[in-house]
Amino acid sequence: MEIIKIENLKKTYQIAKRREGFLNNFKDLIKKEWEYKTALKGIDTSIAEGEIVGYIGPNGAGKSTTIKIMSGILYPSSGNVVVDGIVPYENKRVNAKKISLIAGQKSNLYWDLPIIDTFQLMKRIYKISDSLYKHNLDLFCETLDIKPLLNIPTRQLSLGQRMRADFAVSMLHNPKIVYLDEPTIGLDVVAKDRIREFIKSINDSRNTTIIITSHDIVDIEKICDRVIIIDNGELIYSGDIKTLKEQYSNKNCIMHVKFDGNVESLSLENYIIEKDEDGFCIYFDRTINTPSQILYKLLEDGKKIFDFTLTEPSLEDTIKMIYKNGCLSNINL
Ligand SMILES: Nc1ncnc2c1ncn2[C@@H]1O[C@H](COP(=O)(O)OP(=O)(O)OP(=O)(O)O)[C@@H](O)[C@H]1O
Ligand SMILES: [Mg+2]
């Protein structure tokens, strides 16, 4: 069942121009000039209940803007967003009870208070029952190992400790939908793994819908069922990771060939070939050519093959290529 529906979502920011120099600063105060930045150019997508979706794209693509609109913080310029039956930015209170937003860059904890105080404050704000509060606190103390941190003010916590506490406080009210904006940024590999496991366990045990943005492809690969890729405010892919990987890998196979003796150059019609220290990389499309065809051509050409290996691009290579090309059609998916 669909829990989030986004139709033709557009967002243009209006930014006050600021010019250099004291006199110009003064002029800007009296008469403002504006410029406009279109962050979202018409996004259409939907997310099913219980899905974990990776929302990815290069810097400035519009990910955080979309998340802010979905979570009710920002108004769009046009388009429709419905989250669990309501328009989030028009029903902020109702929406806030159902969701949680965790941003790696910004904490949900009060900076000077021991974290247990923020927990209790949240209990009151969200009107969490005593039994649910106790149940969740015990659970998070165990799964996120936050018990030793409860009486420490946020400002004294390390980034990894703070993130664990942030996750706990944001999940206290059992949100139905969780938005994660770069939740593992700056964390070490162990801390990242712990957070990933926690995200998965929340999704498994509570069927929580999770939308995650991250520049760490391992986050996406390990956690997500599906990815939505946006670039420059436009949606360029929506589908499962396996399909993305398979289709791309099929079309971008690399055969590395080493020859007996010194081979200075190699030319094969319709193949991209690069020379490296100990051989040649031949790029080919597996849907058109097979490795044996290439080998046969080389042998026919009188080359003595010493060794060869086949490699497929990783998901990270795929994503890099997609970001670099700007759209999937350019890389011939
Ligand atoms: N408050 C704002 N005022 C003006 N422009 C903004 C504002 N917030 C974002 N933008 C612009 O909108 C575009 C999209 O920004 P957004 O933060 O959504 O990107 P992002 O995909 O989250 O990028 P990143 O991966 O760097 O976090 C950028 O060009 C950014 O400069
Ligand atoms: Mg962002």
Nearest atom within ligand 1 for CA of residue 66? 18
For ligand 1, atom 6, name the residue with the nearest CA.
Answer: 13
Nearest atom within ligand 1 for CA of residue 182? 27
pLDDT, block means (10 residues), the chain with 333 residues: 96 90 85 92 97 95 97 97 98 96 93 96 96 96 95 96 95 97 93 94 96 94 93 93 76 86 82 86 83 91 91 78 60 40
Pairing of strands 234-240, 226-231: antiparallel
In this prediction, residue 268 carries a pLDDT of 82
Nearest to 146 by CA among 116, 174, 171: 116
Cα separation, 38 vs 11, in Å, equals 6
The pTM of this model reads: 0.85
Contact between 203 and 91 under an 8 Å Cβ cutoff? The reply is no
In this prediction, residue 250 carries a pLDDT of 66
The protein residues having their C-beta less than 5 angstroms from ligand 2 (an ion) are 64
In the chain, the domains with their CATH numbers are: 2-240 (3.40.50.300), 246-331 (3.30.70)
Q: Is the CB of 56 under 6 A from ligand 1?
A: no
Instruction: Give the Å distance between the CA of 3 and the centre of ligand 2.
Output: 23
Q: Is the CB of 62 under 6 A from ligand 1?
A: yes
Which residues are 209's β-sheet partners?
Answer: 177
For ligand 1, atom 19, name the residue with the nearest CA.
Answer: 60
Burial track 293-328 (b if 16+ CB lie within 10 A, e otherwise): ebbeebeeeebeeeebeeeebebebbbebbbeeeeb
For ligand 1, atom 25, name the residue with the nearest CA.
Answer: 59
In 3-state terms, what secondary structure has residue 141?
helix
In this prediction, residue 333 carries a pLDDT of 40
